[in-house]
Amino acid sequence: MKKINIFFFLVFLILSSSCSSYKDIPYYQDLNHDSPSQEQITNYSPLTIQPADILGINVNSRNPESSSVFNYNLNKVNGNNFDNSPDNPVTGYLVDKNGEIELPLIGVLKVAGLTTAQLKEKMRPLLLTYYKDATVSVRIINFKVTVYGDVQKPDVYTLRNEKTTITQALALAGDLNITAKRKNVILVREVEGVRNYIPIDLTSKKTFQSPYYYLRNNDEIYVQPSRTKYAPGDIGFRTLTLVLSGLSIIAITLSTVIR
């Protein structure tokens, strides 16, 4: 009987360790899931143009052949990724180390520190010199983030939406694996020659309020695997269910024999 009690105690320990692991899996654990709530968005600021950004500028007018000298060439967009093969080039205006670009007719223009909307407004009066009815659109065509570590699809993702969040980038990468650490996702961001390492806790709703929730060009997101993924003899959480089922059958059998 004493051996049986020890056996059931071991089964209890396995079940307990399984439950404690689950506690680390759900996102936003401090969010009230039982009732709707809302909060003001105060941590978003638009992307600003930086050196090494590539700008896609399109100018339209009643004389499209003339205004097309400004326009970049983007032949094909494949989902969220641009096809940069030699047969399908992407060209644009590279922002140099001084934060400037050179445009046809207009010449050298300071763009660093401006949002794409602000650059559009800056270009409009300059274009009116040549085209009375000109319209202009601007976007950063090499806006990309890197997602790697314990995710389904680690990759470099080129983004079309300037207002992209860390959770959206993780979703592009197929979300975190079950073995990933959700409390210590690392965001790597370079700002003015300084590399910053910022921990993000995805189990807390404070993620939404973080100044790093909205991504910047060339951000990197590293998802660290937990010890469970590489523990000796461990073959994953899926196998654990089968093991526990087998132990339960053995326990029931031994209990029946003893009776």
Cα angle, residue 89 at apex, residues 57 and 109 outer, rounded to 5°: 30
Domain ranges of the chain: 2-23+230-258, 54-140, 144-225
Task: Give the architecture (CATH level 2) of 144-225.
Answer: Roll (3.10)
Arithmetic mean of pLDDT over the chain: 81
pLDDT digits (tens, 9 = 90+) for 78-106: 333 444 444 444 478 999 999 999 999 99
pLDDT for the residue 64: 84
Rounded distance between C-alpha atoms, residue 18 and residue 155, angstroms: 31
Q: In CATH, what number does 54-140 get?
A: 3.30.1950.10
Q: Identify the residue with better confidence: 252 or 178.
A: 178
Verdict on whether the full-model pTM lies above 0.85: no
Which pLDDT score, from 0 to 100, does residue 35 have? 79
- 219 CB contacts (<8 Å, ≥6 apart)? 145, 146, 169, 187, 188, 189
| pLDDT tens-digit map of 175-204 | 999 999 999 999 999 988 899 999 999 999
- Tell me how crowded residue 185 is: count the other CB atoms within 10 A of its CB: 24
* pLDDT at position 6: 52
Quick check: do 54-140 and 144-225 share a fold? no
Dihedrals phi, psi of 120, to nearest 5 degrees:
-60, -45
36-71 as b/e, with b when 16 or more CB fall inside 10 Å?
eeeeeeeeeeebbbbeebbbbbebbbeeeeebeebb
What's the DSSP call for residue 151?
B
At 25-37, the pLDDT tens digits run: 888 888 877 778 8
Which amino acid would we find at residue 205? Answer: K
